[in-house]
Structures are given as structure tokens and as C-alpha cells.
Amino acid sequence: MAKICENRVVIVTGAGRGIGKSHALEFARHGAKVVVNDIGADVDGTGSSSGPAGEVVDEIRAMGGQAIANGDDVADWEGAQRVINSALSTFGGLDVLVNNAGILRDRMIVNMTDAEWDAVIRVHLRGTFAMTHWAANYWRENTKAGKANDARIINTSSASGLYGNVGQTNYGAAKAGIASFSVIASLELARYGVTVNAIAPAALTRMTESVAALGFNQKERDPNEFDVFAPENISPLAVWLGSALSKEITGRVFHVVGGKIDVVEGWHAGPSVDKGGRWNTEELTNVIPDLVAKARPNADMSGR
């Protein structure tokens, strides 16, 4: 089987468990040299352990691949730079950045604390920004030096951010922000030979096992049947997007569940009305309800 990422240097954040671990292993199977970043925290972001990242590295090396572990905090400005530098110093370059690290602090708005809001926004949104900033600077310097990049950034969004899910205003806002961030970053970084895409995965992991709206069936599964919610289902797309084969694909968000891949089309203008002048506030009572009635309903968590 062809190894479509042979000798490409890849950073996967949050790669100690779940989808991130699956990404790291699949990249390694396809010949990539992998930086496995994970602080080993609990689902809510508390605590730390070097164990998970090291165990993934051991698995990769056992299959004959090359990998190192990194335990820096991606949302820390200097920490994010150290993650990038670890790839450069160990493997001599960087071709792919997969921003996957995340935490959950689910709570209804009326009960959510500012700390719970800030923690989730920090890891997901600031972490994606910080890692992208330092990677983009490396690729920009390459361009200035006359070196060609064939680089990729793959961010992690969520159906919660794209379509909305009760109890996840912090998480959903961060994931919606990452989707928009990806579209804008793709426009900014194209000049440096960098594509930017995002994946909104549906999989059963530590982070999603309590999210009932995703429809996860907790009952014991038949090992002979296809597991729709296995984290490994997400990784083939991530690895393909990280390869040279995806050069023409950028600025896109994909929703993946099982063997199903949707291209998420994002915000589009729907039904509209134009008076040709300023509206009187009272007039809108006879305009807005009709306009909304003509619009499609918001999508549910399946994107439909």
C-alpha cells in the first residue's frame, strides 16, 4: 500500500488519546514522522501526565515509524512555539499541523462560570491560533528564503459549533470560531503554499461519551459490525488532507461520521427583502416573520 505521507513531518496536538491518537497512528502508518503532543490532562483540562503521549510514541516506533512526544500546552504562547520547534529540531522541518487538542466544561448558560467559559475558549480557540501562528511564521520564512512549501493545517471543529448543541455554548462557540478561523486562514496562508481545512468529527471518545445529542449508543457492539462511532473513522480524511494529494483543497470544513463525509457549506444569505431605503421599526412586524418563514430551518446535529 502506498504511503501518501512518506517522510512528511506532522504535529498532532491532543494526540495522547481518542481521535488525536488515531490521527497520529494513521499518519505514521502512511510514513509520516510524528510529533505527538499531549499534556495528559483530564477531559476538563485539569491534571497532566506524560504517559499518554509516550505510549502513542511507543506504538508508532513499534510499527517501525518515527515519533517523539511533546508535553507543552498549545494555548501557552511560548509553549506553542516549543511544539513547533520540537518538530524542526528533531525532524528538520514541518509539513502538517493538526490542531486537535481540546477540553470540555459543559454547562447551561445560567450555571456556567467565567472560568469554565475561559478554559474552553483558551484551549480550543487560542490553542488553534497559537499553534497556527508559529507554524505559519515558519512557512513564511521558508517562502522568504526561496523555499517552496507544500504544507497543511487541519483544524478540529464540531457539529456543536456548526449546528448547535444545548449545554455547550463555550465549546460550540470555540468550535464555530475554529471553522471561521480555518476559512480565513486559508485565504491568508495560500501565498505561502499552505492549505487550511477543518474536520468536524463525530466519534465516541472520552470527550463525547456524555453528549447525548450525538446519538452515541453505549450498548455493547458486535465486534463483527462496523463501528460508526470509532475514532479511527475520522483519521483517513485527516491523513489525506495532510498529504500532497490534497493540494487543491483549502478553506473547507468537513463533517465526518462513520463512513459518511459531508462538505459543510457554511453561512449563505437566504430569503431577503430590500426596501431601497431605511425601514421604519413598526414596518418590520409585517416583514420579518414572513422572511423567516421562507427560510430553511437551522440544521440539527446531523447537519440536516
CA quadruple 220, 303, 250, 190: dihedral, nearest 10: -120
Give 6's contacts (C-beta < 8 A, 6+ positions apart): 30, 31, 32
Question: β-strand 260-264 against 253-257: which pairing, if any?
Answer: antiparallel
Active site residue 171: yes
Which residue in 102, 207, 201, 96 sits closest to 154, CA to CA? 96
Q: C-alpha angle with apex 87: 84 to 92, nearest 5 degrees?
A: 125
The letter for the amino acid at 302 is: S
Active site residue 175: yes
| Region of residue 120 (left: phi > 0; alpha: psi -120 to 50; beta: else) | alpha
Active site residue 157: no
Kindly name the residue from 22, 138, 160, 175 that is annotated as catalytic.
175
Residue 73: all three cell numbers together? 500546552
Q: Is the Cβ–Cβ distance between 242 and 27 less than 8 Å?
A: yes
Give the whole-angstrom CA distance, residue 140 versus residue 192: 6
Kindly name the residue from 157, 158, 186, 246 that is annotated as catalytic.
158
Kindly name the residue from 22, 160, 163, 171 that is annotated as catalytic.
171
Rounded to whole angstroms, what are the CA distances from 256 to 65, 158, 199, 205, 228? 27, 10, 7, 14, 10
List active site positions.
Answer: 158, 171, 175
